[in-house]
Amino acid sequence: MHDPFVIALPDINNHAPANLETVFSIGNGHFGIRASDPLSHSATGGTIVNGFFETAPITYGESAYGYAKNHQTIINLPDLRAVTVTDEAGAAFTTQKLVSQELDLHTGLLTTEMILATLDGKRLHLQLTEAIGQTNQNVAALQYTFTPLSFSGKITVTKKLAFYQAAVTDDDPRKARAVQSLQIDDMAVDQGQAIQITTASTHLRVQMALSVPETTTLDLTQNQATEFFVGAEVGPVGNADGDYPTLVLPPDLGTVAEDGQQYWQQVWAQGTVDITGDKPLAQGIHYNIFQLNSSAGRDGHTNISAKGVSGVGYEGHYFWDTEMYMLPYFILTQPTIAKQLLAYRYHILPQAKERARTLGVTNGALFAWRTINGEEASAYYPAGTAQYHIDADIAYGIGQYYAATGDLDFITKMGFEMIVETARFWANFGSWFIKDGKKVFGFFDVTGPDEYTALVDNNYYTNRMAQHNLELVGQLIKAFQDAGQALPVSVSEKEQADFEIIADNIYLPYNQEHQINAQDDSFFDKPVWPFAETPKENYPLLLHYHPLMIYRHQVNKQADTLLADYLFFDDVPTDQLQREYDYYESVTTHDSSLSRAIFSALAARLGMGAKAYSYFMDTARMDLTDLQGNTADGLHLANLGGSWLSIVTGFAGLHYTADNLTITNHLPENWEKLAFKCQYQGRQLQVSMSHFGTEVTVLAGDPLDITIDGVQQKIAAQ
């Protein structure tokens, strides 16, 4: 049990069909296939295409100027796994037993075995082997192998591109709405079948094709295994009125499987993480890395939604999760994909500029809190648009990408403009005021990462991130000057000086009583949430209490001030950091899946090994154990990235700037060894640590100056 590179049914806590559909889903960044029971015609099964969405007007009881106008909802397309199987008399076979299901993380192959039966006792064994293209991201291959058990005769296999959607009646705001405004057209093809799905409002289309006709007869009279191969094509997202490429179906399972295997070999060669001494956690982190790579948009026009391509939860929207929890993994292991994720933000910069104007900010850009097409889709602005920190989050991601790669070409073409426009937003959005007799700069009526504390003044995280955003402008201007290049976006000397003055004077709230950074100006004036009186079944709080009740208490959904401490570790002395950790941990519910990874990484840095390990255990296998109770809606992608952060930046203490890379050994007691690969400034590195020391090897690239466990070293290439 717990093969580090194979996920099987015994590894999963919750065997409810919708949960298994999510956990065993496979994808390639363009589309994903949920692992439905192929004979059940599941309403929650289906094919999810990254960036294929429909809009519908948001209905407000009382609307106001500047509210988000339209829902944006990703569409669950026909289930590529679904089949109907009948005998010669028309009796239907249904699933009698799910025998096994295995996802091979080395190859990307998903294998499902089940027993099928009719009401009168005829039985078949079905093995479904499934692969999805990684180089050619438009194809999938499914091979059904039928073996008679107590049956001899012919069967009819019906395979059709059909919708089995059900209306969503749940009030949970994390679930997706049903989409009813689709036009579905059959297409004339020489082989098999094809359909075109067109959206009424967004005027987008996707074509899907299968290599087989709707019905096929198979002869099972010889009592032998009989294969039924289906090649599938899921075309790109295109404009309804534009040209569309010709669909090309894969010839066989082997072609698609080999493509996938080569891709995964590269992924593990560039960014594997190996834990010796804890097989369940080793399996968990491998699964998380696998699904991160399966979900990331690679074309510069799509991103990573909150559920990736594993489900339609959160309506397929992109959030700040990408830059803060998932991008770090790609920066240090797959920098080409990291660049494409940031390129998506550049392509929606015009919408961000327009959004800033709507908010009354005359210069700069404000990126949408939740979106697919760049327009704001959050109907609840206190926990949506008010999270202005997304601007600084994106800027932080760009800065980290540049520090790790030195890719000045990207900064020239895309990155610098985003940094400047977000800095301009902060300079125009904020205000000067007097605090303790000193003139300072701050931001009012904002919401930080903690969505249980909304519309406050001077959220510490927001202010610190805005400060960093403003400082980045000067750092990148110097990089252009050092390279002898002109600025790609004009920034006057006065504007640069203004950015520096504002950054130097940004107000960072501090609580004298507790001797810690204050989450915001009013946080410590509020009563602490009555945790002792809150029953376990009332978590998450957002589903059981009015927002205003939550807002008037000290209670955190997730790390907020501590997230700033995590990102800017040198800001706070260790004794103060310990006080902050202790206090904010006491008022945090971890109702957000984004929370535990940060608490784990900080605990590791603070030397609290047992606590760091406990939080990490929750992050590493969150979806395999269904810890949050809603994996059926899709994987928690930010947590998948967070588990990698817990290991690499927590237990391995990795921290970098453009000038230095630091590794500090915080290996958990019950691990024998930790080894991982990463890339830094054109070098491929192997980091290995045990309780006896830390070793860093330069596998490729130039010699490296690095700080290992507090000692500055120079490591030559292998």
**309 and 213, same domain (yes or no):** no
Check residue 95 and give its pLDDT.
96
- CB atoms under 10 Å from CB of 171, counted, come to 7
Check residue 204 and give its pLDDT.
98
Residue 262 reports pLDDT greater than 90: yes
Q: What is the mean pLDDT of residues 171-176?
A: 54
Residue 174 reports pLDDT greater than 60: no
Check residue 176 and give its pLDDT.
58
Q: Would you give the end-to-end CA distance of the chain in angstroms?
A: 36
**207 and 329, same domain (yes or no):** no
User: Are 553 and 450 contacting, i.e. CB atoms less than 8 angstroms apart?
Assistant: no
Q: Confirm whether 707 is domain-assigned.
A: no
Check residue 165 and give its pLDDT.
59
**Residue 686 belongs to a domain with what CATH number?**
1.50.10.10
Task: Establish whether 557 is an annotated binding residue.
Answer: yes
User: Are 90 and 55 contacting, i.e. CB atoms less than 8 angstroms apart?
Assistant: no
Task: Establish whether 320 is an annotated binding residue.
Answer: yes
Condensed to tens digits (0 to 9), the pLDDT of residues 339-396 reads 999 999 999 999 999 999 999 999 999 999 999 999 999 999 999 999 999 999 999 9
Q: What is the mean pLDDT of residues 130-143?
A: 98
Across the chain, mean pLDDT equals 96
Q: Determine the 3-state secondary structure of 238 from DSSP.
A: strand
451 is catalytic: yes
Task: Give the single-character DSSP code of 38.
Answer: T
Domain boundary pick from 232, 249, 268: 268
The CA distance from 543 to 547, in Å, is 9
Residue 172 reports pLDDT greater than 90: no
Residue 169 reports pLDDT greater than 80: no
The CA distance from 11 to 102, in Å, is 10
- With cut-offs at 50, 70 and 90, classify the pLDDT of residue 206: very high
Phi-psi region of 450 (alpha: psi -120 to 50; beta: other; left: phi over 0): beta
Q: Confirm whether 673 is domain-assigned.
A: yes
Backbone angles phi, psi at 437, to 5 degrees: 80, 5
Condensed to tens digits (0 to 9), the pLDDT of residues 520-550 reads 999 999 999 999 999 999 999 999 999 999 9
Helix, strand, coil abundance in the chain, percent, nearest 5: 35, 25, 40
CA distances in angstroms from 157 to 210, 346, 369, 449, 480, listed in the order given: 14, 47, 46, 50, 63
- State yes or no: cis peptide before 335, omega within 30 of 0: no
Helices (H) and strands (E) in the chain, counts: 19, 29
Q: What is the mean pLDDT of residues 129-137?
A: 97
Residue 167 reports pLDDT greater than 60: no
**Residue 151 belongs to a domain with what CATH number?**
2.70.98.40
CA distances in angstroms from 463 to 37, 353, 421, 470, 598, listed in the order given: 49, 21, 17, 11, 19
Domain of residue 170, residue span: 6-57+68-268
Check residue 282 and give its pLDDT.
95
Q: Confirm whether 677 is domain-assigned.
A: yes
User: Radius of gyration of the chain from Cα atoms?
Assistant: 26
Domain boundary pick from 252, 268, 284: 268
**564 and 586, same domain (yes or no):** yes
In three state form, how does the secondary structure of 11-68 look?
Answer: HCCCCCHHHHHHHCCEECCCEEECCCCCCCCCCCCCEEEEEEEEEEECCCCCCCCCCC
Helix (H) or strand (E) holding 392: helix 390-405
**225 and 264, same domain (yes or no):** yes
Set 21, 54, 323, 451: catalytic member: 451
Task: Establish whether 154 is an annotated binding residue.
Answer: no
**233 and 331, same domain (yes or no):** no
Task: Establish whether 307 is an annotated binding residue.
Answer: no
**413 and 495, same domain (yes or no):** yes
**255 and 129, same domain (yes or no):** yes
Q: Determine the 3-state secondary structure of 140 from DSSP.
A: strand
Domain boundary pick from 228, 248, 268: 268
**211 and 288, same domain (yes or no):** no
Q: Confirm whether 490 is domain-assigned.
A: yes
Q: What is the mean pLDDT of residues 279-287?
A: 95
Residue 180 reports pLDDT greater than 80: no
**558 and 609, same domain (yes or no):** yes
Residue 175 reports pLDDT greater than 90: no
Condensed to tens digits (0 to 9), the pLDDT of residues 448-502 reads 999 999 999 999 999 999 999 999 999 999 999 999 999 999 999 999 999 999 9
Q: Confirm whether 714 is domain-assigned.
A: no
**548 and 530, same domain (yes or no):** yes
Q: Confirm whether 222 is domain-assigned.
A: yes
Condensed to tens digits (0 to 9), the pLDDT of residues 604-638 reads 999 999 999 999 998 899 999 998 899 999 999 99
CA torsion through residues 546, 550, 551, 552, sign: positive
Condensed to tens digits (0 to 9), the pLDDT of residues 209-228 reads 999 999 999 999 888 999 99
Check residue 170 and give its pLDDT.
57
Q: Determine the 3-state secondary structure of 203 from DSSP.
A: coil
Q: Confirm whether 301 is domain-assigned.
A: yes
Check residue 222 and give its pLDDT.
84
Q: What is the mean pLDDT of residues 229-256?
A: 96
**84 and 165, same domain (yes or no):** yes
Task: Please state the domain count of the chain.
Answer: 2
Q: Confirm whether 374 is domain-assigned.
A: yes
**101 and 242, same domain (yes or no):** yes
Condensed to tens digits (0 to 9), the pLDDT of residues 5-43 reads 999 999 999 999 999 999 999 999 999 999 999 999 898
Token pair 């809150």 is at which residue? 534
The CA distance from 691 to 671, in Å, is 9
